[in-house]
Amino acid sequence: MFDLDVTVVGGGIVGCAVAAEVSRLGLSTVLLEMESGLGRETTSRNSEVSHGGMYYPTGSLKARYCVAGRRLLEEFCHEAGVDYRECGKVIVAVQDAEIPELERLLALGQANGVKDLRLIDAAELITMEPDVRAMAGLYSPRTAIFDAEGATRAYAQLAAERGAQVLTGSRVTDLDRHEDGWKVTITPTGDRRREGWRHTSRIVINAAGLWADRVAALAGIDIVERGWTQHLTKGNYFSVNNAHDGRISRLIYPVPPSSGLSLGVHVCLDLAGQMKLGPDLEVMQNDPRDANTSAGVFDLDYRVDPGRQASFYEDARRFLPWLEMDDLTPAMCGLRPKLTLTGFRDFVIQRETDDLGGLINLVGIESPGLTCAPAIAVAVADLVREMEQG
């Protein structure tokens, strides 16, 4: 006998969406999040964009789940009353030599099933965005911005309404194989004076985001051998002087860097219309997850180096000619769990077997993971359903 059917580790948007979808199956479920609130890490420290899906290789999980996830996310946000706005996005070519890349992204997006993509010329771009200068653009009208933390809380609420327990301040510190399932050890975090506990669970779903590789290691997986070591990289943002609010009405992206590791420094808009630039890609010399406080809360480094201002200015001024250096102020940053620092790596979504049976691992869930979350949740629920059917 097991205490629970399903334990979901991680309370970001992916974990909460998974808990909501799995609890629909009528299985006793608990979600464990080590922070004091939900969606405190990767979920809330990004551009909060619901992407179209034109960047990723056709057939990859990132492409498939991004296209499906955008539709599911839009539907969910509207049903749950979460702010979601299709502001649209333009990827701009500031030189003629960049236009073939727009054409490549158009063909790739169409192959992936991205809706309503089209190329626009300089004249149409000026009509749409008078303060942006470029030779051409790829327009994605269905790209949106939304309240990522609000969506995360709404998924958690839906999971709770379906009978799931949602526990914050609860860090998983050990996973031991137990009969045909798992014994889960939980240690309280923060200032709460609680005793730790253990429970048994037939199924464990590792949706721990920045910590997913380490949770997999707790279960006895050799993450180095599997190539599952997550390299945390920092994405910094600079806010733009609010005197410029309203000058840009859509998200403006450059042609992505050839490295494929990021989408490039772009114009981000929040739901209030405030503008910021970012994120860049900063490779960290030391793993910030190694800094542990006595209360069990990890001190991740979210400082923005003011010295990066010049590079932000240079990148953005290519298509925002009115921008001045003094318009930029350090704003925020987030961390990405990248599986590689060279080229493309897809998400890992894997149902384990044999001695690791009952474990599902989600590793390397970086961008476009926010958009993909509801589609990932459906895929994980399908894996659970297969396990239930033997």
CATH domain 87-143+229-338 topology: D-Amino Acid Oxidase; Chain A, domain 2 (3.30.9)
Distance from C-alpha of 9 to C-alpha of 20, rounded to nearest angstrom = 13
pLDDT in tens, 337-361: 999 998 899 999 999 999 999 999 9
Q: Specify the amino acid at residue 289.
A: R
Q: Is the Cβ–Cβ distance between 150 and 52 less than 8 Å?
A: no
Distance from C-alpha of 91 to C-alpha of 252, rounded to nearest angstrom = 6
pLDDT in tens, 130-149: 999 999 999 999 999 999 99
Q: What is the pTM of this model?
A: 0.96
Count CB-CB contacts under 10 A for residue 188: 18
Q: For residue 298, what pLDDT is reported?
A: 64
pLDDT of residue 375 exceeding 50: yes
The predicted model gives 271-292 an average pLDDT of 87
Which residues of the chain are in CATH 3.30.9.10 domains? 87-143+229-338
Q: Is the Cβ–Cβ distance between 159 and 23 less than 8 Å?
A: yes
Q: For residue 297, what pLDDT is reported?
A: 54
Q: What is the percent of the chain with per-residue pLDDT over 90, rounded to a whole number?
A: 88
Q: For residue 292, what pLDDT is reported?
A: 58
Whole-number average pLDDT of the chain: 94
pLDDT of residue 84 exceeding 90: yes
**pLDDT confidence band for 41 (50 / 70 / 90):** very high
pLDDT in tens, 293-321: 544 556 788 999 999 999 999 999 999 99
**pLDDT confidence band for 193 (50 / 70 / 90):** low
Tell me the sheet residues that pair with 32. 9, 167
pLDDT of residue 26 exceeding 80: yes
pLDDT of residue 173 exceeding 50: yes
CATH domain 4-46+149-224+345-388 topology: FAD/NAD(P)-binding domain (3.50.50)
Q: For residue 218, what pLDDT is reported?
A: 98
Q: For residue 295, what pLDDT is reported?
A: 46
**pLDDT confidence band for 192 (50 / 70 / 90):** low
Which residues of the chain are in CATH 3.50.50.60 domains? 4-46+149-224+345-388
The predicted model gives 123-135 an average pLDDT of 98
Which candidate, 336, 335, 348, 344, places its Cα nearest to that of 228?
348
Distance from C-alpha of 236 to C-alpha of 349, rounded to nearest angstrom = 27
